[in-house]
A and B are shown apart, each in its own frame.
Chain A
Amino acid sequence: SYVLTQPPSLSVAPGQAASITCGGDNIGRKSVHWYQHKPGQAPVLVVYDDNARPSGIPERLSGSNSGNTATLTINRVEVGDEADYYCQVWDTTIDKPVFGGGTRLTVL
């Protein structure tokens, strides 16, 4: 099945930018979705179809996707952005969604 690879962790200082990557074979040909998951809460969709934002998601969060890497960028990181972030695509070979392993974003 299709494998998505994310770095386990990323640390960034408040006010800086964070780039969370999601690697996959020709992932640029797929639609990538991103979720923010905080402890004790349900995941929240923050970017879908590579770079679209659901209503209520701030413009500081943006997505891109090309080649073998998709990226979620969070500009002007805030303490409230601290969470686990997951990428997700639809695996057409076995007709199911696949999640990356998740990246824990720590705001120093």
Chain B
Amino acid sequence: QVQLQASGPGVVKPSETLSLTCTVSGISISRKYWSWIRQPPAKGLEWIGNINNGGSANVNPSLKSRVTILMDTSRNQFSLNLRSVTAADTALYYCAASTLSGTLDAFNVWGQATVVTVSS
């Protein structure tokens, strides 16, 4: 059974970098694509980006200039760095993946939410 566990600081200061890590268990990270998704307060879901099984990242154009997504195969983890954060980046952050056959974007596995607040 594939499980995801996200970790990272709950509070980040404005203009600094948000860094989150998602640890994958139950499957080698090299076998699937891995996504970050967020939900600002009282808003809907927003896909941030993903990293594929070859280590290449695909980022939402609205965030592309500020986002880096990396993979660490030795630790079976992938990470998110979001630079120059503002209050608008305050959100629940999820790591997620599709392990279903034939689809890359039906996210059937989710980690628990990491609450991130941007505040000085």
Contact = CB atoms under 8 A, between A and B. Distances in A.
Interface of A: 1, 31, 33, 35, 37, 42-45, 48-49, 54, 86, 88, 90, 94-102
A37 B57 CA distance: 26
B45 interface: yes
B108 A45 contact: yes
A101 B46 CA distance: 10
Interface of B: 35, 44-47, 49, 58, 60-61, 94, 96, 100, 102-108, 110-113
Task: Tell me if B's interface is mostly helix, strand, loop or mixed.
Answer: loop
Contacts of A31: 103, 106
Contacts of B47: 96-99
Contacts of A35: 45, 107
Contacts of A100: 44
Given A1-B61, A44-B110, A98-B47, 20 more contacts: A33-B103, A33-B107, A35-B45, A35-B107, A42-B96, A42-B110, A42-B112, A42-B113, A43-B94, A43-B107, A48-B100, A49-B102, A49-B103, A88-B106, A90-B104, A95-B58, A97-B105, A99-B44, A99-B46, A102-B45
A86 B60 contact: no
Contacts of B108: 45, 48, 54
A86 B45 contact: yes
A94 B63 CA distance: 13
28 contacts: A1-B61, A31-B103, A31-B106, A33-B103, A33-B105, A35-B45, A35-B107, A42-B111, A42-B112, A42-B113, A43-B107, A43-B110, A44-B110, A45-B106, A45-B108, A48-B103, A48-B108, A49-B103, A88-B45, A88-B106, A90-B105, A95-B58, A96-B58, A97-B35, A99-B44, A99-B45, A99-B46, A101-B44
B63 to A, nearest CB: 10
Contact of A54 (B44, B96, B100): B100
Nearest to A49: B103
A43 B111 contact: no
